[in-house]
């Protein structure tokens, strides 16, 4: 579907990821072909992960100890607090007055992953549990703590729609703004999934990148160079890698002078699944979500698509098939960031939005080193952003340059 006459703009965005915590850092780290994934030792096993830089991890710990109430919060909440403070300050919402009445919708695929696992392990060992276990592991505590920290007086809620969570938050924010129930909304996702149990779940699905490859020296060398082969359609095995981070955006009704981009179209669809985790060969959910987002736009106007592309064989191929079905032989420039920073589950969609905003701002595409597009756009005016999660919940957002 297109949007009603009143446009919605993105006036600020802030994130923390392996790319950094400022737009300048993120852009600079996008300008080289080096991935930012590292080998971590989890329970004696070397595993590829996308970790936050040590300097940002230190800032998160400083935030934790800045207030006694924050000391027992999960990393997913602290990540959201950190990013939200920066986004709101950048948008000018931190001033006292009517601007404090903004809505908040920050979701997460897994929520308080580390803290929940800690409390559960403690319960199995000792048969007792902390009184803080329930209030600090409920999914809703992400947005409620952000609202507390920012002093917001507007509506606030959290949700989980797996890997499309952040873009569903954006959909919700648009709905509230277009419905006249709010003038500003803070939306996004936060994820801290780098725990042995969570990664073991992904490995059980046989979709995780291997840290050891014994097939032959060429494959082994490629694996070391780029452990996550997102958008590599010639790969022979699954190569998803998990990453951590948070990303939130400020949405406002209308188009202000300082707007970063305009939301031209939104699309969403749910796949009729034949399996618990997979989507169809041609990703019908993506076909529908992209067509919906492009309803009022000619397809040739789209310059770039930021793909979900998790680095799995079926996931990458099905999304590519869907794009080819929608755009036929006139494909936009295709890119993704998961080969560089990993898949941050519920936060990944908003990190895709950040990538799109940077390309619109700098008028330069961000390429995937092992995926060649036929040509690069001479200018970047419209970018389509995709996300999908377990359950086949696809979202597509069309952004345009102000």
Distance CA 341, CA 52 (A): 9
Q: What is the pLDDT of residue 2?
A: 43
Residues 6+ apart with CB under 8 A from 303: 332, 333, 377, 379, 380, 381, 382, 383
Examine the pLDDT at 250 and tell me if it is beyond 70.
yes
pLDDT of residue 224: 52
pLDDT at residue 4 greater than cutoff 50: no
**pLDDT cut 70: percent of the chain above it:** 92
Q: Rounded mean pLDDT of 140-163? A: 94
| 3-state SS class at 39 | strand
Check whether 48 has a pLDDT greater than 60.
yes
pLDDT at site 95: 62
Q: What is the pLDDT of residue 6?
A: 77
What is the percentage of the chain residues whose pLDDT exceeds 90?
A: 83
pLDDT band at 223 (very low <50, low <70, confident <90, very high): very low
Contact indicator for 163, 347 with CB cutoff of 8 Å = no
257 burial via Cβ count (<10 Å: 0-12, 13-18, 19+): exposed
Contact between 1 and 288 under an 8 Å Cβ cutoff? The reply is no
Which pLDDT band holds residue 274 (cuts at 50, 70, 90)?
low
pLDDT of residue 293: 98
345-396 pLDDT, tens digit per residue, is 999 999 999 999 999 999 999 999 999 888 899 999 999 999 998 878 999 9
What is the pLDDT averaged over residues 322-341?
96
- Residues of 343-366 as b/e, b for ≥16 C-beta within 10 angstroms? bbbbbbbbbbbbbbbbbbeeeebb
Least confident of 1-15, 254-268, 328-342: 1-15
**pLDDT digit string (tens) for 163-211?**
999 999 999 999 999 999 999 999 999 999 999 999 999 999 999 998 7
The predicted pLDDT at position 211 comes to 79
Span 273-302, average pLDDT: 87
Mean pLDDT, rounded, for 128-132: 93
Range 41-53 average pLDDT: 90
Residue 159 has pLDDT above 70, yes or no: yes
Enumerate domains of the chain plus CATH numbers. 8-198+241-253 (3.40.47.10), 264-400 (3.40.47.10)
Q: Does 72 score more than 80 pLDDT?
A: yes
Name beta bridge partners: 48. 39
For residues 78-89, average pLDDT: 97
Mean pLDDT across the chain: 92
pLDDT of residue 273: 67
The more confidently predicted of residues 289 and 3 is: 289
The tokens for 280 are: 């169809």
């Amino acid at each position: 579907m297109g949007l009603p006459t009143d446009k919605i703009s993105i006036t600020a965005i802030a994130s923390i990821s392996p790319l950094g915590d400022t737009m300048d850092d993120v852009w600079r780290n996008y300008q080289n072909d080096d991935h930012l994934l590292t080998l971590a030792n989890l329970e004696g096993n070397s595993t590829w992960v996308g970790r936050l830089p040590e300097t940002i991890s230190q800032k998160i710990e400083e935030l934790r100890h800045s207030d006694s109430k924050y000391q027992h919060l999960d990393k997913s909440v602290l990540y959201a607090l950190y990013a939200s403070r920066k986004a709101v300050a950048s948008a000018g919402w931190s001033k006292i007055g009517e601007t404090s009445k903004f809505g908040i919708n920050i979701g997460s695929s897994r929520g308080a992953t580390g803290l929940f696992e800690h409390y559960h392990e403690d319960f199995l060992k000792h048969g007792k549990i902390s009184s803080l276990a329930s209030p600090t592991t409920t999914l809703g505590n992400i947005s409620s703590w952000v609202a507390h920290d920012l002093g917001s007086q507007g509506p606030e809620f959290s949700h989980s729609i797996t890997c499309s969570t952040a873009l569903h938050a954006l959909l919700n924010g648009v709905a509230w703004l277009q419905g006249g129930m709010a003038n500003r909304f803070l939306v996004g996702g936060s994820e801290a999934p780098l725990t042995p149990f969570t990664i073991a779940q992904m490995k059980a699905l046989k979709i995780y990148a291997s840290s050891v490859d014994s097939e032959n020296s060429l494959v082994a060398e490629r694996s070391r160079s780029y452990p996550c082969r997102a958008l590599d359609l010639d790969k022979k095995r699954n190569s998803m890698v998990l990453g951590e981070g948070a990303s939130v955006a400020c949405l406002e009704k209308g188009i202000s002078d300082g707007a970063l981009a305009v939301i031209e179209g939104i699309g969403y669809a749910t796949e009729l699944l034949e399996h618990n985790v997979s989507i169809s060969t041609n990703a019908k959910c993506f076909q529908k979500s992209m067509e919906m987002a492009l309803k009022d736009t000619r397809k040739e106007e789209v310059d770039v698509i930021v793909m979900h592309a998790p680095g799995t064989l079926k996931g990458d191929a099905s999304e590519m098939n869907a794009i080819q079905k929608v755009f036929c032989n006139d494909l936009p420039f295709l890119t993704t960031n998961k080969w560089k920073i990993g898949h941050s589950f519920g936060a990944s969609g908003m990190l895709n939005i950040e990538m799109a905003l940077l390309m619109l701002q700098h008028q330069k595409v961000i390429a995937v080193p092992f995926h060649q597009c036929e040509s690069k756009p001479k200018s970047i005016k419209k970018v389509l952003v995709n996300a999908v999660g377990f359950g086949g919940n696809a979202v597509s957002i069309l952004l345009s340059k102000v």
